[in-house]
Amino acid sequence: MNEGKVYLLGAGPGDPGLLTVRAREVLEAADVVVYDYLANEGFLDYCPEGAELVYAGKRGGEHTLSQEEINRVLVDRAGRGLTVARLKGGDPYVFGRGAEEAEQVVEAGAAFEVVPGITSAVAAPAYAGIPLTHRGFSSSVSFVTGHESADKGESALDWQALARSASTLVFFMGVKNLASITANLLRAGLDGGTPAALVRWGTTCRQTTLVESLERIAEEAQKAGYTAPALLIVGGVVSLKERLDWFEKRPLLGRGVVVTRAREQASGLVRTLEDMGACCLQFPTIRISPLKDYEAVDRAVRELSRYDSLVFTSVNGVKHFFDRLRRQGLDSRAFGGRRLAAIGPATADELRGRGLEPDFVPRRYVAEEVVQGIIHHGGFGERILIPRAETAREVLPRELERAGFEVNVLPVYRTELAHNDAEVLLEAMGRGEVHYVSFTSSSTVHNFFKLVGPERLRPYTEQGLRLACIGPVTEETLSEYGFACQVWPERYTVPELAQAIARDAAGGER
Q: CB under 8 Å to 429, separation ≥6 — which residues? A: 460, 465
End-to-end Cα, the chain, rounded Å: 63
In angstroms, the CA 228 to CA 445 distance is: 37
3-state DSSP assignment of residue 489 = coil
- Is residue 1 annotated as part of the catalytic site, yes or no? no
Catalytic residue among 5, 15, 31, 36: 36
Catalytic residue among 76, 173, 176, 308: 173
3-state DSSP assignment of residue 282 = strand
Question: Do 129 and 243 meet the contact criterion of CB atoms below 8 Å apart?
Answer: yes
Cis omega before residue 411 (within 30°)? no
Q: What is the CA radius of gyration of the chain?
A: 28
Phi first, then psi, for residue 287 (nearest 5°) are -120, 130
Question: DSSP letter at 48?
Answer: P
* Of 305, 196, 281, nearest in space to 241 by CA: 196
Which pairs count as long-range contacts for 418-421, CB under 8 Å and 24+ apart, including other chains?
418/262, 418/263, 418/284, 418/285, 418/286, 418/287, 418/447, 418/451, 420/283, 420/284, 420/285, 420/451
Helix (H) or strand (E) holding 59: strand 58-59
Q: CB under 8 Å to 461, separation ≥6 — which residues? A: 467, 483
In angstroms, the CA 138 to CA 134 distance is: 5
Tally of residues, the chain: 510
In angstroms, the CA 102 to CA 109 distance is: 11
Beta-strand runs (E) in 334-490? 339-342, 383-389, 406-417, 436-439, 466-469
Q: DSSP of 197-224, one letter per residue?
A: EEEESTTSTT-EEEEEETTTHHHHHHHH
- Is residue 36 annotated as part of the catalytic site, yes or no? yes
Question: Do 274 and 453 meet the contact criterion of CB atoms below 8 Å apart?
Answer: no
Q: Which residues are catalytic?
A: 36, 58, 173
